[in-house]
């Protein structure tokens, strides 16, 4: 990359199970207002806005109309990325790097509470061959969890261990929706949703928004004393049909991570990354995604968790924020990971701060069994 | 200094109202293969693929995931954008930024919509704010009827002028092998005899619902000339959105004034030193869901003075053989697969610059062309293309 792009400010709403007290735009503006105040910018200083939301979830065709007045897009530039919010950050990065835009506001919003997740997610399956099976993301994830556990001998206790770790970390995160003191037994005793995924193995229904401001290096240094640089990014699609994939694998993630690492000059992620925020909508995913990210070998995700290296205070803390399991809406989740990575690199993560964090990884996922994967590497030097 | 970006491959489907013979994915793949063949490239040469469509128009959530293999994004980077009617131009803009940023040397953008598996008008009625806009919008037709009426009232245009615009579009469409509606209209009377949809907008005054896809391959400056000796350059893009709701309606109550169009073209012209658009732009592919809108657009893009768009029609300036041909492809009124519609505008403008438009190639040399997109509540995206930069 010729120039560097810096993130000058990030903000998140407190994630909550039901924000019917506000409209989507008002929700987004809670986060937007904070990044404007922090940088001293006004909406008229924003050259371009990139939003991330989904018509199906908003129940509104052209869902970016919900947030248009709140991003200053009246007679200005706005584009909507329809996937995980991390891709909107990637889109904003390209706008700045291209030299065509200078100050870019990126915002993602979602109110899962107002929609029926199974109906919407079923509409993501190919309408001719798969939709009639009645799958949603949860039941498809259960197939993936089973396959992964079978192939590598991953245990239900190891998956539950992710839920225990992350919801415990969430107690230190003021934005988290579901901070809980849990034991593995608590998780294994929670209600079964889709075998082997139990209630506490699964993310809760969540509403919230996330915003950030991106700009080129020289401007970033003027807007904040603590800019965070985007060092590498990539994303990747897997095949759609579940039968075309080995669900115990996550090739798209390996591919996306490989490209992001090359851009950032990272050879050994476990050693060179100080903190990772990854999108685990279900507990097994943290183990599987850690393998895809190259933190350990295939099938070793459970053992890496057991080693304690991914705990807060370990060699590579994973999801010190509490992760998606502790409550982030989909389409916002990956961008929330970027926001948390930025807080860590600025030393502003409060009780969940990882000491002396210099390089962080943020990961986002969209679709069925992680069909689309996105990885971003950030640094503070 | 941003990298320059060229269009080196162009492909589209033959657009139809229904494509029961193919799935969404197979339909998209036709355009992808056509663009690769046009550029003499293979899918493995393309580094990233960005796509656009409106999910609710075909009732598929994450359609870019469903079609990942056929779109060509399998094991490749990319994402989908969706901004209403402008989606297919937003993806051009974001693909342009990606290559211009130096992130990719060869990237593809794909716009698509298969409207035969959804119900677009029903989806558009869900575009307003659920609290105070519900019931205010009945799809696109009502908005354009309002605009046609105020255009007639304020400019002095008559229904005959709109009929002439439709005849021009149909002549182009009949020469364009990819166009959807090829009606073979013979006279303005045929248009004026068609039934009213919403007065004064007639059946033949409005665009169809089409199913189709369009793919473009973008190359960085250093790669462009290796792929093709005469690439078409994307000189500039401009995106201007407008506050969705004023007094419970889209934009102004007359539907006539679209500030985003004024602002977008003024910014684009200024940056590119265009002072006399009528003379300096050789050809335009404009997003005109209705023939009335086309006359309105001539004025908004400063091809003529205010209230004189219909005079350009009388003078034949915008005919295929005219001084400033507009929509020689037949335009949106003949072909409208929504997520692909603005991508097709860029594709057609580029083909005219290359001299490869086939039956509807304009006789004059095209060096500078403008492609526009209209969407949502009066949002505008413009793409300026040039033979050389």
pLDDT digits (tens, 9 = 90+) for B301-329: 999 999 999 999 999 999 999 999 999 99
B364 within domain boundaries: no
Residue-wise pLDDT for B195-249, tens only, equals 999 999 999 999 999 999 999 999 999 999 999 998 999 999 999 988 766 544 5
Q: Apex CA A193: angle with CA A190 and CA A194, to 5°? A: 130
Nearest-by-CA chain A residue for B241: A75
A238–B74 CB contact, under 8 Å: yes
Comparing B252 with B221, the larger pLDDT belongs to B221
| C-beta atoms of A239 and B69 within 8 A | yes
Q: What is the CATH number of the domain that holds B17?
A: 3.40.47.10
List of residues 6+ apart from B341 with CB closer than 8 A: B85, B88, B111, B113, B287, B332, B335, B373
| Percent share of chain A, pLDDT over 90 | 94
Q: Is the pLDDT of residue A349 over 90?
A: yes
Is residue A320 classed as helix, strand or coil in its secondary structure? coil
Which residues are within 8 A (CB) of A101 and not within 5 positions of it... i.e. 6 or more apart? Answer: A47, A48, A77, A95, B97
pTM for this one? 0.97
- How close, in Å, is residue B251 to chain A by CA atoms? 11
Q: Where residue B256 falls among pLDDT bands split at 50, 70, 90?
A: confident
Nearest by CB: A124 against B62, B83, B131: B62
The number of helix segments (H) and strand segments (E) in chain B equals: 16, 13
Averaged pLDDT, B361-368: 98
SS3 B179: coil
* pLDDT for res B120: 86
The string over A219-232, giving b where at least 16 C-beta atoms fall within 10 Å of a residue's C-beta and e elsewhere, is: bbeebbebbbbbbb
Distance from CA of A186 to the nearest CA of B (A): 35
User: Which of A66, A75, A251 minimises the CB distance to B75?
Assistant: A251
Question: Where in chain A are the domains?
Answer: 5-115+205-223
Which residue has 């964090």 as its token pair? A357
- pLDDT at residue number A269: 97
Please tell me what DSSP assigns to residue A274.
S
At residue B134, the pLDDT reads 62
For the record, the structure tokens of A294 come out as 């190259």
Where does the pLDDT of residue A136 fall: very low under 50, low under 70, confident under 90, or very high at 90 and above?
A: very high
Query: CA A54 to CA A58: how far, in whole Å?
Result: 6
What is the domain extent for residue B28?
5-120+209-227
Average pLDDT over residues B165-179: 98
B376: nearest CB among A62, A255, A371: A62
Angle between helices A85-97 and A333-345 (to 10 degrees): 60
CA distance B156 to A54: 42
pLDDT category of residue A3 using cuts at 50, 70 and 90: confident
Residue B179: both structure tokens together: 């166009």
CB contacts, 8 Å: A78 with chain B: 83, 239, 241
The per-residue pLDDT for range B20-57, each reduced to its tens digit, is 999 999 999 999 999 999 999 999 999 999 999 999 99
pLDDT exceeds cutoff 60 at B125: yes
Between A and B, how many residue pairs show a Cβ–Cβ distance under 8 A? 192
Mean pLDDT of chain B: 94
- Please tell me the distance in Å from A123's CA to the nearest CA on chain B: 5
Q: Is the pLDDT of residue B345 over 80?
A: yes
Asked if A73's CB is within 8 angstroms of B61's CB, the reply is: no
CATH of domain A5-115+205-223: 3.40.47.10
Look at residue A47 and give its three-state secondary structure.
Answer: coil
pLDDT at B138 over 80: no
Read off the pLDDT of residues B265-284 as tens digits, 9 standing for 90 and up: 999 999 999 999 999 999 99
**What per-residue confidence (pLDDT) applies to B128?**
76
Q: Is residue B76 part of a domain?
A: yes
**In sequence order, what are the residues at sequence separation of 6 or more whose Cβ sits closer than 8 angstroms to the Cβ of residue A71?**
A28, A32, A43, A46, A49, A51, A78, A105, A107
A256/B66 Cβ within 8 A:
no
Token pair, residue A70, equals: 């709140």
Mean pLDDT of B166-182: 98
Residue B234 domain-assigned (yes or no): no
Question: Which tens digits make up the pLDDT trace of A182-193?
Answer: 999 999 999 999
Residue B127 has pLDDT above 90, yes or no: no
- Kindly state the helix (H) or strand (E) to which residue A30 belongs, with its residue range: helix A24-39
Q: Supply the pLDDT for residue B129.
A: 73
- Provide, rounded to the nearest whole percent, the portion of chain B with pLDDT above 90: 84
Instruction: Looking at the complex, report in whole angstroms how far the Cα of residue B12 sits from the nearest Cα belonging to chain A.
Output: 23
Q: Classify strands B368-375 and B283-285 as parallel, antiparallel or unpaired.
A: parallel
Q: At CB < 8 A and 24+ separation, what contacts does B138-143 make? A: B140/B289, B141/B197, B141/B198, B141/B201, B141/B206, B142/B198, B143/B250, B143/B255
From CA A344, how far away is CA B48, in angstroms rounded? Answer: 31
* Mutation choice for A interface testing from B52, B73, B77 by most A CBs within 10 A: B77
pLDDT digits (tens, 9 = 90+) for B61-120: 999 999 999 999 999 999 999 999 999 999 999 999 999 999 999 999 999 999 998 888
Q: Which chain B residues are Cβ-neighbours of A256 within 8 angstroms?
A: 77
At residue A151, does pLDDT exceed 80? yes
- A33, A43 contact by CB (below 8 A): no
pLDDT of residue B248: 45
Position B365 pLDDT exceeds 50:
yes
User: How many domains are contained in chain B?
Assistant: 1
pLDDT at res. B247: 43
């Amino acid at each position: 990359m010729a120039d560097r792009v810096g993130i000058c400010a990030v903000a998140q709403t407190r994630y909550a199970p039901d924000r019917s007290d506000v409209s989507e735009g008002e929700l987004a503006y809670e986060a937007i207002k904070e990044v404007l105040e922090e940088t001293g910018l006004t909406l008229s200083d924003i050259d371009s806005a990139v939003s991330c939301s989904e018509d199906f979830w908003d129940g509104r065709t052209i869902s970016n109309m919900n947030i248009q007045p709140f991003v200053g897009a009246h007679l200005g530039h706005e584009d909507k990325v329809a996937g995980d919010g991390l891709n909107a950050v990637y889109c904003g990065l390209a706008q700045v790097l291209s030299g065509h835009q200078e100050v870019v506001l990126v915002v993602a919003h979602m109110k899962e509470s107002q929609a029926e997740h199974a109906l919407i997610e079923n509409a993501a399956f190919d309408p001719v061959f798969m939709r009639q099976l009645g799958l949603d993301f949860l039941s498809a994830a259960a197939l993936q969890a089973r396959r992964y556990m079978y192939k590598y001998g991953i245990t239900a206790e190891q998956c539950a261990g992710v839920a225990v770790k992350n919801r415990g970390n969430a107690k230190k995160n003021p934005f988290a929706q579901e901070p809980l003191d849990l034991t593995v037994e608590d998780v294994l005793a929670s209600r079964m949703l889709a075998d082997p995924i139990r209630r506490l193995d699964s993310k809760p229904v969540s509403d919230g928004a996330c915003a950030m401001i991106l700009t080129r290096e020289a401007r970033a240094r003027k807007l904040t004393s603590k800019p965070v640089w985007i060092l590498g990014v990539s994303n990747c699609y897997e095949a759609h049909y579940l039968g075309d994939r080995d669900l115990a694998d996550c090739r798209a993630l390996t591919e996306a991570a490989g490209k992001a690492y090359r851009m950032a000059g990272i050879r050994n992620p476990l050693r060179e990354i100080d903190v990772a925020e990854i999108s685990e909508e279900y507990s097994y995913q943290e183990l599987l995604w850690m393998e895809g990210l190259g933190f350990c070998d295939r099938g070793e995700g459970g053992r890496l968790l057991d080693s304690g290296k991914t705990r807060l205070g370990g060699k590579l803390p994973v999801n010190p924020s509490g992760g998606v399991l502790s409550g982030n809406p989909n389409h916002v989740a990956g961008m929330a990971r970027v926001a948390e990575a930025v807080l860590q690199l600025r030393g502003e993560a409060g009780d969940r701060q990882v000491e002396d964090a210099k390089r962080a990884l943020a990961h986002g996922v969209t679709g069925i069994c992680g069909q689309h994967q996105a990885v971003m590497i950030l640094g503070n030097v | 200094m941003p990298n320059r970006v060229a269009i080196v491959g162009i492909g589209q489907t033959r657009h139809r109202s229904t494509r029961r013979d193919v799935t969404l994915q197979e339909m998209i793949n036709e355009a992808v293969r056509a663009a690769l063949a046009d550029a003499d490239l293979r899918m493995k040469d393309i580094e990233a693929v960005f796509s656009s469509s409106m999910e609710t128009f075909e009732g598929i959530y994450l359609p870019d995931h469903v079609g990942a293999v056929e779109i060509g994004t399998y094991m490749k980077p990319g994402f989908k954008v969706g901004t209403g009617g402008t989606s297919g131009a937003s993806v051009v803009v974001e693909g342009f930024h990606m290559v211009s940023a130096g992130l990719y040397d060869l990237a593809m953008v794909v716009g698509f919509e298969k409207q035969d598996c959804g119900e677009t008008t029903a989806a558009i009625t869900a575009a307003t704010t659920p609290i105070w806009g519900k019931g205010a919008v009945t799809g696109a037709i009502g908005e354009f009827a309002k605009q046609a009426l105020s255009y007639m009232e304020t400019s002095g245009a008559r229904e005959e002028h709109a009929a002439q615009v439709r005849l021009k579009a149909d002549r182009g469409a009949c020469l364009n092998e990819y166009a959807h509606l090829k009606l073979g209209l013979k006279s303005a009377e045929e248009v004026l005899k068609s039934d009213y949809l919403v007065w004064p907008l007639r059946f033949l005054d409005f665009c169809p619902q089409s199913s189709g896809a369009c793919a473009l391959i973008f190359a960085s400056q250093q790669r462009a000339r290796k792929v093709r000796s005469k690439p078409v350059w994307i000189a500039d893009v401009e995106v201007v959105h407008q506050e969705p709701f004023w007094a419970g309606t889209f934009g102004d109550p007359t539907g006539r004034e679209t500030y985003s169009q004024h602002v977008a073209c003024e910014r684009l012209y200024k940056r590119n030193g265009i002072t006399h658009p009528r003379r300096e732009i050789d050809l335009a592919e404009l997003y005109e869901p209705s023939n009335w809108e086309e006359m309105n657009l001539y004025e908004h893009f400063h091809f003529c003075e205010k209230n004189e768009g219909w005079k350009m029609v009388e003078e034949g300036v915008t005919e295929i053989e005219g001084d400033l041909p507009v929509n020689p492809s037949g335009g949106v009124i003949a072909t409208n697969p929504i997520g692909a519609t603005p991508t097709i505008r860029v594709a057609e403008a580029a083909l005219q610059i290359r001299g490869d438009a086939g039956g509807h190639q304009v006789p004059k040399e095209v060096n500078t062309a403008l492609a526009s997109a209209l969407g949502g509540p009066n949002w505008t995206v413009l793409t300026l293309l040039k033979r050389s930069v």
